[in-house]
A and B are shown apart, each in its own frame.
Chain A
Amino acid sequence: MKNYWWKILGALLILYTIVGGMTVPIKSGIVKVTPNSIQSGSEVEIQIDGYNSNYDQSDDLAVWLKAGNTTAIKATKVSAINATSLKANFTLPNELPSEGSFHTLSVVVNSKIDGISLLPDHVALQAGAMDTLNRTQWSEINNLVRKEGFNFPYRNILVESIRNTFYHIPLWFAMVMIFFVAVVYSILQLYKPQVKYDAYAVAFTEIGVLLGILGTVTGAIWAKNTWGQYWSWDIKQNVSIIAMLVYLAYFVLRGSFDDHEKGGRISAVYNIFAFAALIPLLFVIPRMASSLHPGNGGNPGMGGEDLDNTMKYFLYPAFFGWFLVGMWMASLRARFIILRDKYLLKMND
C-alpha cells in the first residue's frame, strides 16, 4: 500500500473525471434568435431557441436585449412555445443605446429553473423611423435569478464538446510532465550511467509520445466538431506535429546503435535537446502567431469566463490523474525493458 497508493489515486482521479465529466449536465443556453436584425422605435417579436432549457415549465421567464454592460430593454411579453423555444415581444426605444450607427445586442433569458442564459452580440440594431407615441427608455437588467445546482457552462460553438477540456488539455499537460521526468533520467544517465536510468528515460519518452498522440487525436476530434475539420493547419497543430517528429527521431536514433552504453549516452544527450526544443515549440511560438486555439493570437485564454468553478472540480484532478497514470504506465514499461535486457543478456552468455 505504501508504494502503490499513487497508482490507485491516479486511476481513481481518471475514473472520477470520466464519470463526472460525462454526466454533469450543461447549463441551458440560447442556440438561435430570429430575426437577427431589428430597427429602433419599432415593435418586434423575437423567437428564441434554447438548449437544455425548460421554457414551458418556467413561470417567471424574463427576456432582455442588452447593449453594452448596463443598457438593456426588457421584453413586454414572453410566451413559451415548448421546452426549447419561446417568443418575446419588445417595444424598442426611439433612441439608440449609444453613439454610432451600428449596434449589436446580446440576448439574455432568465428563469428560476434554467438560470441565466446569454447569446452575446447577436442581434443587429439599426436606426428606424421615430414613433412619437413610443415612450420606452433603455434601462438596466435587474432581478436576475441564478440557477442552483451543479452544471457546466454553456458555450455557443462548444456545447457538449466542452467536456473534452477534461481530456485534451490534461493529456498535453501530462505529456510535458512525463517528458520532463524522462529528461531528469537522461541527465542522471549522463552524470552516472546506469542501465536503470536509460530504461526509465526510454520508457517515459515512449509514454510521453503516446500521451502526445492521444492529445492530438482528442484535439482533432474536438476541432472537427468546433472548427469544422480535423486538421486546420493551426499553428499549435503544426508545432505539436514538429514536436512529435523530434521525439520520433529519438527512437530512430536509439535504434541505430548496437553498443548499448554508447547508445544510452548519445540518446540521453538528444533527449535533453529534444525537451529543450519542445518547450519553445509548444509554449512560445504559438503565442506569437495567430491561432484558433484559446489563449493565442488574441483569443481569450482558458480561465475567466470559460473556466468556471464547476469545470475546475474536474480539470485539476484530471491533470494529476493523467500524470499519475502516465507515471504508472512508464514505470511498468521501464521494468519490462530492464527485465527484457537482463533476459537477453543471459541468453547471450
Chain B
Amino acid sequence: MRRKYALGGILLYVISSVYIVYAGFFDIPKQSWNAIFWILILFASINAVAKSFIQENRGSQLYLYQLAHPSAVLIAKMIYNTGLLFLIGLLTFAILSTFTGSQVRDLGFFILLLGLAAVSFSIAFTFTSAIAAKSDSGSSLLAILSFPIVIPILMSLVKLSANALGLLMDSSYLTDIFNLLAIDALLLALTFFLFPYLWRD
C-alpha cells in the first residue's frame, strides 16, 4: 500500500498533538475538550485530504481520467476520503479519550457526528483540493480556500457535539443535523456541476 506512510504520518500527528494537549491541560474541562477535539480533527482531515489531488502526480491523474469518467473519479475520491476521515475521527477520539478520559455522555450520537463530519469534510475538502491542485501553490491554497467553507460546518458540529457531551440540553439537534445535511447537499451539487470545468487542462 502506497498510502501506508500517509496514514502513519496522520497517526503521528494525532498522537503528538493529543500529547501536547494533555501535557498542557492534564485535566481538560468539557468545553475545552469539545473545542480541542474539533481543531485536531480539522487539521488532521485537511492533511489527509490534501493527498487526494494535490500530492498526486500529473501522470497518474491523466491516466485516471482516461480510464474513467471524471465524475466517477470524483465520487471514488469522496468515498475514499469519507472512510479515511471517519477512521481519523475514531482514532483521534480513541487516543484523546485514553489520555484524558472519555468526556462523551452519548457515545452513539457522538459516533454519528463523527460520521457526519467525515461526509461533510470529505465533500468540502475534496472539491477545494481539486481547485487548489490546479494552482502552483497547492496545500497552502487548500487551507485558504477550505477554511471559510468549513466554518459553518464546524459551527454546527461543535454545537451538536456539545449536545453529545452533555454541555447543552438542546432538543433542536435534528434541525442542526438537517442544516448540516443541507450544506452537504449544496456543496455536493456544486461540486458535480463545476468539476467538469476543473479537471481538463
B-contacting residues of A (Cβ < 8 Å)?
Answer: 190, 238-239, 242-243, 245-246, 249, 252-253, 256-258, 262-263, 265-266, 268-270, 272-273, 276-277, 280-281, 284-285, 288
Is B135 within 8 A of A257, CB to CB? yes
Is B152 within 8 A of A245, CB to CB? no
Question: Across the two chains, which residue of chain A brings its CB closest to B156?
Answer: A285
Instruction: A253-B145, A277-B187, A280-B186 given; name 12 further pairs at CB < 8 Å.
Output: A242-B148, A242-B151, A249-B145, A256-B136, A257-B134, A262-B134, A266-B198, A268-B197, A277-B149, A277-B186, A280-B182, A281-B152
A268 to B131, CA, bound (A): 11
Q: Cβ of B183 < 8 Å from any Cβ of A?
A: yes
- Chain B proximity of A213: nearest CB distance (Å): 16
Question: Hey, which chain B residues are within 8 Å of A252, CB to CB?
Answer: 141, 144-145
Question: Hey, which chain A residues are within 8 Å of B131, CB to CB?
Answer: 253, 266, 269-270, 273
Question: Hey, which chain B residues are within 8 Å of A242, CB to CB?
Answer: 148, 151-152
A81 to B181, CA, bound (A): 62
Question: Hey, which chain B residues are within 8 Å of A272, CB to CB?
Answer: 190, 194
Question: Across the two chains, which residue of chain B brings its CB closest to A267?
Answer: B131
A276 to B134, CA, bound (A): 21
Is A246 within 8 A of B148, CB to CB? yes
Is A265 within 8 A of B197, CB to CB? yes
Question: Hey, which chain A residues are within 8 Å of B149, CB to CB?
Answer: 246, 277
Assuming A256-B135, A285-B179, is B186 touching A273 (CB within 8 A)?
A: no
Contacting residues of chain B (123-151) with chain A, CB-CB under 8 angstroms: 127, 131-132, 134-137, 141, 144-145, 147-149, 151
B152-189 contact mask (Cβ, 8 Å, vs A): 1 or 0: 10010000000000000000000100010011001100
Is B145 within 8 A of A270, CB to CB? yes
Can you identify 7 A-B contacts, CB atoms within 8 angstroms?
Answer: A245-B148, A256-B135, A263-B135, A266-B135, A269-B198, A277-B149, A288-B175
Label chain B's interface by main secondary structure: helix
A284 to B152, CA, bound (A): 12
Across the interface, A269 reaches (CB within 8 A) one of B136, B151, B175, B197, namely B197
A262 to B135, CA, bound (A): 9
Question: Across the two chains, which residue of chain A brings its CB closest to B187?
Answer: A277
- Chain A proximity of B4: nearest CB distance (Å): 31
Is A256 within 8 A of B197, CB to CB? no
Is B194 within 8 A of A262, CB to CB? no
A269 to B131, CA, bound (A): 8
- Chain B proximity of A159: nearest CB distance (Å): 34
Question: Hey, which chain B residues are within 8 Å of A269, CB to CB?
Answer: 131, 194, 197-198
Question: Across the two chains, which residue of chain A brings its CB closest to B146?
Answer: A249
Is A280 within 8 A of B183, CB to CB? yes
Nearest 8 CB-CB pairings of A with B: A245-B148, A256-B135, A246-B148, A269-B194, A266-B134, A249-B144, A249-B145, A256-B137
A171 to B144, CA, bound (A): 26
A146 to B6, CA, bound (A): 76
Is B201 within 8 A of A273, CB to CB? no
A257 to B135, CA, bound (A): 6
Question: Across the two chains, which residue of chain B brings its CB closest to A256?
Answer: B135
Question: Hey, which chain A residues are within 8 Å of B198, CB to CB?
Answer: 266, 269
Assuming A273-B127, A276-B186, is B152 touching A253 (CB within 8 A)?
A: no
- Chain B proximity of A297: nearest CB distance (Å): 13
Question: Hey, which chain A residues are within 8 Å of B141, CB to CB?
Answer: 252-253, 256
A76 to B42, CA, bound (A): 69
Question: Hey, which chain A residues are within 8 Å of B132, CB to CB?
Answer: 253
A30 to B190, CA, bound (A): 52
A245 to B137, CA, bound (A): 19
Question: Hey, which chain B residues are within 8 Å of A253, CB to CB?
Answer: 131-132, 135, 141, 144-145
Question: Hey, which chain A residues are within 8 Å of B136, CB to CB?
Answer: 256-258
Is B147 within 8 A of A245, CB to CB? yes
Question: Hey, which chain B residues are within 8 Å of A265, CB to CB?
Answer: 197
Is B201 within 8 A of A262, CB to CB? yes
- Chain A proximity of B92: nearest CB distance (Å): 25
Question: Across the two chains, which residue of chain A brings its CB closest to B178?
Answer: A288
Is A273 within 8 A of B134, CB to CB? no
Question: Hey, which chain A residues are within 8 Å of B148, CB to CB?
Answer: 242-243, 245-246, 249
Residue of A190, A239, A270, A280 ringed by the most chain B CB atoms within 10 A: A270
Question: Hey, which chain A residues are within 8 Å of B186, CB to CB?
Answer: 276-277, 280
- Chain A proximity of B14: nearest CB distance (Å): 27
Question: Across the two chains, which residue of chain A brings its CB closest to B136?
Answer: A256
Question: Hey, which chain B residues are within 8 Å of A262, CB to CB?
Answer: 134, 201
- Chain A proximity of B192: nearest CB distance (Å): 12
